[in-house]
Structure 1
Amino acid sequence: MKKQRCFWCLGDALYEKYHDEEWGVPVRDDATLFEFLVLETFQAGLSWITILRKRENFRKAFDNFDYKKIASYDETKIASLLQDAGIVRNKLKVRATVTNAQAFLSVQKEFGSFSDYIWGFVEGQPIKNRVVNYKDAPATTQISDALSKDLKKKGFKFVGSTVIYAHMQATGMVNDHEIDCFRYDEV
């Protein structure tokens, strides 16, 4: 029997795999949270499938999303990234990734982990929404607004409320799987 999935991922094997294995699964590992933050940053203004298709290129270009290394990128490394056709070559987003890695380290120092910090906005537990049609899922919430504002105050870039809500969905801080999707109850 064919599995019922969220409508947004249907028809593309990569999208379906991402949906089935990653999207909405609670992530508490700082390295993975940073990876999703980088990918969401680059996704701003583009489709998520575009970023997913380039994910391995991003992984290679950004040293396996190692935020400690990225925080120390110099102008030579930034220039090389801007020549890398495998990623989205947006100067502001590349620079934001370096800035965000530095801010990420500061948050870790202040809170013990980025995970403790970010999950604090949902009191450590995923919010389980009841989305019937993905088109009805919110693009932002009061929580994503507050988190976005706080991240900006901490020096992060490209972390508007829509980007942050997408990050919350991807990392399982909110469960926005459609209620008839097989993953809704699994995550």
Structure 2
Amino acid sequence: MEKSVCAWAMKQPIEREYHDREWGRVNKSDTYLFEFLVLEGAQAGLSWYTVLKRREAYRAAFDNYNLEKLASYEDSHIEAIIGNYDVIKHRGKISSVFNNARSALQLINEYGSLENALWQFVEHQPVNNHWKTMSDIPASTQTSKEMSLFLKRKGFKFVGETICYAFMQAVGMVNDHLVTCYCHQEIIEGNAL
């Protein structure tokens, strides 16, 4: 019998795999956190599928999210990325990766890690929501608005409150799987360990 899953994950196999294995599951790795700041920023105005299918190209284009390398790049490197990788061809979004790497290194210097800087917004514990329908899930929250303002003050770009909420969902700060989705309870039990 097919397990019940969130409706957004039923269109493409890559979405289903991402939904089942990653979305909403706690990951506090600085590299992973930065990857999702990049991917969620790239997704602004586009479908998640459009970005997700390019995930490996993003890793290649952005040196597997090596912050020191990315921080050293100038906007002159944008054309090489556009010409050689299947990423979203938005110069502002590409430039923001270099800028955000520099800002991320400053956060790491100040807080010890991206985890410490970003997970503080949920007191370092995932929030388990109990949504019944997709329409119940907010596009942003007060917490994502606070995170957005914080990141903007720290020099980040493409980190609006909706992007920040999508980021929070992606890295497991919030569990927004519907209560009817098999992942919802699985994640709650995993977080309790």
Calculate the TM-score normalised by the size of structure 2.
0.94
Residue 172 of structure 2 aligns with which residue? 172
Residue 122 of structure 2 aligns with which residue? 122
Cα contact 1:42–1:93 (8 A) shared by 2: yes
Q: What one-letter code is carried by the residue in structure 1 that aligns with 2:109? A: K
Q: What one-letter code is carried by the residue in structure 2 that aligns with 1:99? A: N
The structural deviation recorded for 1:85 is 5.2
Residue 48 of structure 2 aligns with which residue? 48
Query: Where does the alignment leave 5 or more consecutive residues of structure 1 unmatched?
Result: none
Q: 1:87-109 CA deviation, whole Å, 9 max, x = no partner?
A: 10111101111100000000000
SS class of match (1:149)? helix
Q: 1:11-37 CA deviation, whole Å, 9 max, x = no partner?
A: 311000000000001111100000111
Structure 1 vs Structure 2 CA RMSD: 1.0
The structural deviation recorded for 1:159 is 0.3
Calculate the TM-score normalised by the size of structure 1.
0.97
Residue 64 of structure 1 aligns with which residue? 64
Tell me, in whole angstroms, the C-alpha distance in 1 between the residues paired with 2:68 and 2:45. Answer: 27
Residue 146 of structure 1 aligns with which residue? 146
Query: Where does the alignment leave 5 or more consecutive residues of structure 2 unmatched?
Result: 188-193
Query: 1:103-122 residue pairs with structure 2 within 5 A?
Result: 103-122=103-122
Residue 135 of structure 2 aligns with which residue? 135
Q: 1:58-115 CA deviation, whole Å, 9 max, x = no partner?
A: 1111111212211111344222113245110111101111100000000000000010
Tell me, in whole angstroms, the C-alpha distance in 2 between the residues paired with 1:96 and 1:76. Answer: 13
Cα contact 1:83–1:89 (8 A) shared by 2: no
Q: 1:125-155 CA deviation, whole Å, 9 max, x = no partner?
A: 1111111112220000000000100100000
Cα contact 1:15–1:49 (8 A) shared by 2: yes
Residue 102 of structure 1 aligns with which residue? 102
Residue 158 of structure 1 aligns with which residue? 158
1:184 aligns with 2:165: no
Cα contact 2:74–2:98 (8 A) shared by 1: no
Tell me, in whole angstroms, the C-alpha distance in 2 between the residues paired with 1:147 and 1:77. Answer: 29
